């Protein structure tokens, strides 16, 4: 395995600065308005040339994932190879540092990292990866960009925006309780609370149903909101990870040091 840049890709953690659910779609998904932002840190995907395609998952959350064909990284690599008619193999290693099913991209970010990495490694037209991304999940197109963007439709219609958060210190905290995205959306009350304007004045419409399913989310948000230097604390995506934006790295680091040990946390900055 090598750490040459062409063989390594970070899968940045995703946060939703705001997330408005506007209604249910005929295809069973939901109409969303959101602003995606991305951390400088996340999972790490490494590649080595090989005769066939394989995936190994390591890291603190490896035990929660299958490394077979059902893994989104494996699916992304297989789809890209088939679409681009690549006859090469690759040995992929995913260092799984982010909690699974936690509202911060997870599998979508990993799949997007595989598309970016293999596009370089196999010298493929990036447009092919862009066509494959939405077939893997609604968040994969945003994660493929990994740039601040406004999402609409099912979250996969994207427009790059300047949300004023570049280099902003951020702390992610998860109460270490998995939460099913399907269950959270199924528990949404179906009420359209109105469009998303400026994200700071927005909300996360999935927070109430998520908190009902995992009350510890409320504990995390209360704790984050009480930390010195916090400018905003919100749940990301369908939870259970919450985030806080800080006015300085020092304030973020102090909060990270004080985070209860029963919770997972990651101190980072936004891209």
User: Active site includes 253?
Assistant: no
Distance CA 219, CA 210 (A): 12
Say which of 14, 95, 110, 205 is annotated catalytic: 14
Residue partners of 221: CB distance under 8 A and separation at least 6: 233, 234, 235, 242
User: Active site includes 139?
Assistant: yes
- Helices vs. strands in the chain: H and E counts, helices first: 8, 10
Residue partners of 90: CB distance under 8 A and separation at least 6: 47, 48, 49, 50, 53, 54, 77, 118, 121
Say which of 41, 43, 110, 139 is annotated catalytic: 139
Backbone angles phi, psi at 134, to 5 degrees: -65, -20
Distance CA 92, CA 217 (A): 34
Please give the distance of CA 130 from its chain centroid, rounded to a whole number: 17
Nearest to 17 by CA among 265, 217, 234: 234
Distance CA 84, CA 79 (A): 8
Q: How far is CA 196 from CA 20, 125, 151, 168, in A?
A: 6, 34, 10, 21
- Catalytic positions are 14, 139
């Amino acid at each position: 395995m090598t750490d040459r840049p062409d063989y390594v890709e970070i899968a940045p953690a995703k946060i939703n600065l705001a997330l408005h659910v506007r209604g249910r779609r005929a295809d069973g998904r939901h109409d969303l308005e959101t602003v995606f932002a991305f951390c400088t840190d996340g999972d790490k995907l490494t590649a080595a040339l090989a005769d066939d395609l394989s995936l190994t998952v390591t890291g603190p959350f490896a035990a929660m994932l299958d490394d077979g064909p059902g893994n989104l990284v494996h699916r992304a690599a297989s789809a890209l190879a088939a679409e681009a008619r690549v006859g090469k193999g690759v040995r992929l290693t995913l260092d799984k540092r982010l909690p699974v099913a936690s509202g911060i991209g997870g599998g979508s970010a990993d799949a997007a990292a595989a598309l970016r990495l293999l596009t370089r490694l196999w010298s493929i037209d990036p447009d092919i990866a862009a066509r494959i991304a939405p077939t893997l999940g609604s968040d994969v197109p945003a994660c493929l960009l990994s740039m601040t963007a406004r999402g609409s439709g099912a979250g996969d219609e994207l427009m790059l925006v300047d949300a004023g958060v570049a280099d902003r210190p951020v702390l992610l905290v998860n109460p270490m309780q998995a939460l099913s995205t399907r269950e959270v959306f199924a528990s949404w009350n179906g009420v359209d609370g109105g469009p998303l304007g400026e994200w700071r004045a927005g909300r996360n419409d999935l927070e109430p149903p998520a908190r009902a399913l995992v009350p510890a989310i409320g504990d995390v948000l209360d704790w984050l909101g009480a930390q010195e230097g916090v400018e905003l604390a919100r749940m990301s995506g369908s939870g259970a990870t919450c985030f806080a934006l800080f006015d300085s790295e020092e304030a973020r680091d102090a909060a990270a040091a004080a985070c209860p040990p029963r919770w997972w946390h990651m101190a980072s900055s936004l891209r």
